[in-house]
Amino acid sequence: MSPASTRAELLRLVHRGLDVPAYARAVGELLGRLVPCEGTCLQTMDPATLLPTGEYVENGLPAAEILRLIEIELREPDVNKWAALRNAGTAAAGLGEATRGDLDRSLRQRDVRGPGGFADELRVVLATGTGTWGGLTLFREAGRRHFTPEEVAGVASLAGLIADGLRRAALLSGAAAPDDPGVLPPDDSGALVHPPDDSGVLVLAPDDSVALCDRAAGHWLDQLGTGDRAGARLPLVIATVARQARALATARRPASPPARDTALPSARDTRLPSGAAALPPARARVQTPSGWLLVRGSLLGDGPDAPVAVTLEAARAPELAPLIAAAYGLTERERRVTELVARGHPTSRIAATLHLSAYTVQDHLKSIFDKTGTSSRGDLVARLYFDHYAMRLR
């Protein structure tokens, strides 16, 4: 299958309106015909923090091993880390090429992937002009040849299109809310579920066991679920935020002498920064069946045995607006116009605030309406702040 025919199929796939699990499976199958591989893993990420919020694995590693990969990603030096690839503007990269054929120069290969029976990997950064929405990894089992530069380049040429499809699947599908504003969608038994308190708290021990959990947090855990991840005890976003809270605490403490550096000098590498400020905060936004959720973590004390408090609360407009505006591909100026429209400002006031002519504001509005599939200001506000905030006011 050629990259051109793969691109044509991807274009059709992007506009099918699939949810993320179905989209991840379809993309994996499609790329498998272009670049043979034995497994795939698509991770969704919060574009603001790059923290993983969900994973969709086909013939890959079990949940415990994936959590170890995330720990390496957040806290330890390695080759071809997601943040390093994103910062370098690299759409795709093979581990074999980055390590010059010596895969064991990668910590995640030595600790996790090699013992799991895998060899080379091809990482694809799923980024658009509006942010990084996820990462896709293609695996080859031990004994198979490494990904060639031509294969890496072929997949890299499709990365933007795959990312656009993920952006649409993650944010633009399934936005409809229940008709009754006082309830959430029915549960498996068909009973209507009344919304819990907006905010909940749970406390995690170092082994990810739940030490404390209030009623609202329990509801959010049920909403998130663990999917079909073998051996998973927590939703991925919860485990990731907890690990990021620990990584931030580690960054604040004096660093211990570095271990032997096995990565090549030329390999793309992201090292633990000297200060916590260099790391993204322990927070992520994720979609649930009843609306968008903001997850935040903080370490309760010091040392490796300190528990982590995780707060879960329905995302408010300030947290949601940038994410949803990015989902529709609005430019920075279009986002500002949309924000002022949402505040009820007329065209003349928007023009004065942004130092534009009224005609230019109208042009921006036309573009915004086209991108969001709306036809009026009221329709626009409903689409951005109501349809995507399915947790209704009581």
Q: What is the mean pLDDT of the chain?
A: 83
Q: Mean of the pLDDT values across residues 186-200? A: 52
Give the per-residue pLDDT at 253.
Answer: 65
**Per-residue pLDDT tens digits for 344-374:** 889 999 999 999 999 999 999 999 999 888 8
Q: Where are the domains of the chain?
A: 3-171, 199-251+267-317, 319-387
Give the per-residue pLDDT at 83.
Answer: 93
Give the per-residue pLDDT at 144.
Answer: 94
Higher pLDDT, 233 or 123: 123
Q: Mean of the pLDDT values across residues 238-263? A: 74
Give the per-residue pLDDT at 330.
Answer: 86
pLDDT band at 327 (very low <50, low <70, confident <90, very high): confident
Q: Mean of the pLDDT values across residues 167-196? A: 48
Give the per-residue pLDDT at 131.
Answer: 84
Measure the CA–CA gap between 78 and 364, rounded to whole angstroms. Answer: 44
Nearest to 235 by CA among 246, 220, 223, 224: 224
Range from 97-101, 177-181, 264-268 that averages highest in pLDDT: 97-101
Could you tell me the two tokens for 9? 């199929």
CA distance between the termini of the chain: 53
Q: Using the predicted structure, report yes or no on whether residue 304 has a pLDDT greater than 70.
A: yes
Q: Mean of the pLDDT values across residues 166-188? A: 52
pLDDT band at 154 (very low <50, low <70, confident <90, very high): very high
pLDDT band at 288 (very low <50, low <70, confident <90, very high): confident
Strand residues in the chain grouped as ranges (E)? 39-45, 52-58, 92-94, 118-128, 131-141, 199-204, 210-213, 283-288, 291-299, 308-314
Q: Which of 36-45, 123-132, 218-227, 312-321 has the lowest average pLDDT? A: 312-321
Report the percent of the chain where pLDDT is more than 90: 52
Could you tell me the two tokens for 164? 């656009």
Q: Which of 51-55, 197-201, 266-270, 293-297 has the lowest average pLDDT? A: 266-270
Nearest to 50 by CA among 233, 237, 209: 237
Count of Cβ atoms closer than 10 Å to residue 206 Cβ: 13
pLDDT band at 27 (very low <50, low <70, confident <90, very high): very high
Measure the CA–CA gap between 21 and 43, rounded to whole angstroms. Answer: 10
CATH 3.40.50.720 for domain 319-387: no
Q: Using the predicted structure, report yes or no on whether residue 270 has a pLDDT greater than 80.
A: no
Contacts of 232 (CB under 8 A, 6+ apart): 63, 226
Q: The domain 3-171: what is its CATH number? A: 3.30.450.40
Q: Which of 16-20, 27-31, 116-120, 239-243 has the lowest average pLDDT? A: 16-20
Q: In what order do the strands lie in the sheet with 283-288?
A: 210-213, 199-204, 308-314, 291-299, 283-288
Q: The domain 199-251+267-317: what is its CATH number? A: 3.30.450
Question: Is the torsion defined by CA of 359, 360, 362, 366 positive or negative?
Answer: positive
Same fold across 199-251+267-317 and 319-387? no
